[in-house]
Amino acid sequence: MDTSLRDKRHTAAHVLAAAVQKHYPDAQFGVGPPTEHGFYYDIKFPEPISVNELATLEETMKEIIKADLPLERSDMGIDEAIEHFSSRNQPFKVSLLEDLKTHGTTVLSEMDENTPEESDVSTVSLYTLGDFVDLCRGGHAERTGELDPQGLKLDAVSGVYFRGDETNEQLQRVYGLLFSSKKELKQFLHRREEARKRDHRVLGEQLDLFTFSDLVGPGLPLWTPKGTAIRDALHNRLLSISRKYRMNPVSIPHIGKQALYETSGHAEKFANELIHVQSSYDEFALKPVNCPHHTQIYASKSRSYRDLPIRYMESTRQYRDEKPGELSGLTRVRAITVDDGHIFCRPDQIETEAQKIAEIIREFYTDLGLYGNHWVSLSVRDTNRPQDYIGSEEDWQLAEESLENLSETMELNAVRQEGEAAIYGPKLDYMFTDALGREHQLCTIQIDFAMPKRFGLSYTDADGTPQSPVMIHRAILGSYERFMAILIEHFAGNFPVWLAPVQAKVLTVNEAVKAYAADVFTRLEEANLRVELDDGDETVGKKIRTAETEKVPYMLVIGEQEQENGTVSVRTKGEKQTKTMEIEEVISLVKE
């Protein structure tokens, strides 16, 4: 986010609070940071408000902006500040200050913009805007007149707990939008409305792709035949490409002993998300990740340097006990189908193996029309803090150079991110932009020095000494559930033909051609096309409209003339013209 725009959005949060104080003098204020598109403020109103009150608050905000009031900073001792806010009945500000006094700034979350930045908390900064005084670390416009009132909109209100803690008091969060102009605000609102139309939860139901059941449980999607067809097409395409690079499919169980995840470190990392399974004889967990299982396939026999690289891949479910309130459609679920791959190699093989993964990514995303609408992040260590990382200096240098060389060879133009590497190694992350301009991190290539050592994996080197292999984690599409949500919204349900759940639909004009239509349907089905037959009593016009709503790429209309000539009339989705074709021509068209 542009720094000046961020500062303006932070200023808008103060303007909102000042407007609230004017209308609700007894309101109590929590925190109010800027966001990606605007700002919010968490507030306890004397009585809960609804969206109906936002218009009045917005109008008052615009008056404050037009008044061109200054934001004036003053510093105050922390004890004096506690007394200041106590006397004004602002318990949430007092709570923040007492935490600061006791624990320092380390206790604060990143969202607490309304707190001082300094680690020395003997004094704090206050900002005055008219009659409103706020505790804040700063980053503002100097005057409210720098904000464009035409780019402002109060957007929504919701319930939240103070600082996100369910044990704290519940407040209301008032959301606002702020852009540099009325035009930019309108463009954002248009994009957001388009996103709502493309919402995968709505389209998923409309296109009959997936469903949820309260009886099965929240966060556990059930895939219909049509949704499964898309998932299978993705999996089969990924498998086809990966096999060209000699990735070997494996299969692992859905549970593992608790000790497995304790050794890998995931029992601690996902302590609150593990779903435990107690048998009569042992303690298990539904697997939260797949890599520990793959290490045990590697460990099942002795390995020589000549055996490496060893490449495993699979698409399999893993499970996380997400909080019910955080579950959302396919983007946040409890049963996660992950495209996972792990390569065990020698250090000198890192660059070659990483390049194979990058080639798979390029081919797979080219098929989807997405390759090129992306950028790549190269996350490397902070060399000033070697104590924060696992692995030798030699290993890290080789791994980072390998990924840099890969970026240059494949013209990835990876943006180097200092200090963003994982504790166990550097990585490349691919960030793709969808049709609505939203950015999604989808692919990753991660070098891991730690996992093989945790499990004592080894291979015998050329000189007869045992060595620890390097483990490369790779994800091409990541979670199938999240990936499907992104694709549904990106294509608005208008999938490429190779992904469409129904690629062609045979439509009859009248009852007299039913037998011929059934024969055409059978021939297409035997050619491994995903096809449906609609030979009901409705008019052909209604059948076409239904197929259009279902976003079927090709409609094959059959009347008596087509029956007589042994052809079909092909109508492409979104077009009114039809073209007469032989059956084999249709098969070739769809397959191509």
User: Above 70 in pLDDT, residue 1?
Assistant: no
Q: Are residues 240 and 258 in the same domain?
A: no
The answer on pLDDT for 102 being more than 90 is no
* pLDDT in the model for residue 217: 94
Q: What's residue 202's pLDDT?
A: 92
Element at 314 (helix H, strand E): strand 310-319
Q: Note whether 423 and 463 are same-domain residues.
A: yes
Same domain, 394 and 269: no
In a domain, 329, yes or no: yes
- Count of beta carbons in the 10 Å neighbourhood of residue 523: 15
Please check the confidence at residue 237 and state whether its pLDDT lies above 50. Answer: yes
Q: Cα Rg for the chain, rounded, in angstroms?
A: 29
Per-residue pLDDT tens digits for 375-413: 999 999 998 888 888 888 888 999 999 999 999 999 999
- Do 300 and 282 belong together in one domain? no
Percent above pLDDT 70 for the chain = 96
Asked if residue 270 and residue 280 are part of one domain, the reply reads yes
Last residue of a domain, one of 467, 491, 515: 491
The contacts of residue 562 (CB under 8 Å, 6+ apart) are 513, 516, 568, 569, 580
Q: Is residue 497 part of a domain?
A: no
- Between 359-373, 389-403, 407-421, 508-522, the lowest mean confidence (pLDDT) is in 389-403
Give yes or no: residues 139 and 66 share one domain. yes
Specify whether 225 is located in the same domain as 261.
Answer: no
CATH number of the domain enclosing 183 = 3.30.980.10
**Which residues have a Cβ under 8 Å from the Cβ of 218 and sit 6 or more positions away?**
212, 324, 327, 334
The amino acid occupying position 326 is E
> Is residue 423 predicted with pLDDT exceeding 50?
yes
548 and 465 together in one domain: no
**Domain match, 146 and 28 both:** yes
Per-residue pLDDT, 270: 87
Q: Is the pLDDT of residue 111 over 70?
A: no
* End residue of a domain, out of 464, 491, 518: 491
Report whether pLDDT(97) > 80: yes
Domain boundary among 195, 224, 241: 195
By three-state DSSP, how is residue 390 classified? coil
Summarised one tens digit per residue, pLDDT across range 445-494 is: 999 998 999 999 999 999 999 999 999 999 999 999 999 999 999 999 99
CATH number where 345 lies: 3.30.930.10
Name 508's Cβ contacts closer than 8 Å, sequence gap at least 6.
Answer: 514, 517, 534, 535, 540, 543, 558
Residues 61 and 167 in one domain: yes
Residue 473 forms part of a structural domain: yes
pLDDT of residue 103: 74
Task: Say whether 454 sits in a helix, a strand or coil.
Answer: helix
Q: Is 101 inside a domain boundary?
A: yes
| Segment 210-239 mean pLDDT | 96
Q: What is the mean pLDDT of the chain?
A: 92
Judge whether residue 25 has pLDDT over 90.
yes
Looking at the fold, whether 49 and 99 belong to one and the same domain comes out as yes
Please say whether the beta carbons of 487 and 390 come within 8 A.
no
Nearest to 340 by CA among 310, 311, 314: 314
* Residues 141 and 128 grouped into a single domain: yes
The answer, yes or no, to whether residue 110 has pLDDT greater than 80, is: no
Among 47-51, 274-278, 355-359, 374-378, the minimum mean pLDDT is found in 274-278
Q: Which domain holds residue 473?
A: 210-251+290-491
Identify the CATH number of the domain in which residue 559 sits: 3.40.50.800
Percent of the chain clearing pLDDT 90 (strictly above): 81
Number of domains forming the structure of the chain: 4
- Residue 576 in any domain: the answer is yes
Say what the pLDDT of residue 108 is: 41
- Beta-carbon neighbour count of residue 366 at 10 Å? 11
Q: How confident is the model at residue 326 (pLDDT cuts 50, 70, 90)?
A: confident
Say if 205 falls within a structural domain.
no
pLDDT level of residue 137 (50, 70, 90 thresholds)? confident
Record the tokens describing residue 487, joined without a space.
């694709």
- What's the confidence (pLDDT) of residue 293? 96
Report the SS3 class of residue 474: strand
